[in-house]
Amino acid sequence: NEMTKLLVSLPPLGLHLRKESSLLDLIETRLNPQQVLLDSTIINHNNINNQVEPILKKASKLNASLIKIGSWQRVAVHEEDVVTKCYFGKKKLVWEILERGLKSKIEIHWECIMGMRVSLQKNQPGILQLE
């Protein structure tokens, strides 16, 4: 759609965002309403805490073909060489890079993310940019 292309092509506005806990809670509620339901279940029913806790700790996992930070980059040769994980319970993104049998991790907590852009095009790999 033309409007989407126009909006994506515009430069950043340079606005400053204060990430207060109420804003982060609102964003989390909008992005993951089931998580909020699980949190309230834990608060209201402490006896089921042990049953729900493993769900909160489980990460969403995506294989990535490339990670690039400034001029540094790693390209995945095999499917598991670069893996992105999102931990909703811990509120962080993790990249795991496997190189010569050694695994390195890069962790970014949600409150450290100032901006995010996702580019998706048909029949192309998706791109996630963080600021």
Q: Using one digit for the tens of pLDDT, what is the confidence trace for 64-119?
A: 888 888 888 899 999 889 998 888 888 888 999 999 989 999 999 988 888 888 88
State the pTM of this model: 0.55
Tell me, yes or no, whether 102 lies in a domain: yes
Q: Which domain holds residue 64?
A: 19-130
DSSP run (H or E) holding 57: helix 49-57
Total domain count for the chain? 1
Q: Which residue shows structure tokens 């950043």? A: 12
Instruction: Decide if 1 is inside a domain.
Output: no
Judge whether 14 lies within some domain.
no
Strand (E) or helix (H) holding 44: helix 33-44
| CA 63 to chain CA mean position, Å | 13
- Token pair, residue 130, equals 């963080």
Pair of tokens at residue 21 = 């806990």
Return the number of other C-beta atoms located less than 10 Å from residue 61's C-beta: 12
Of 42 and 110, more confident:
110
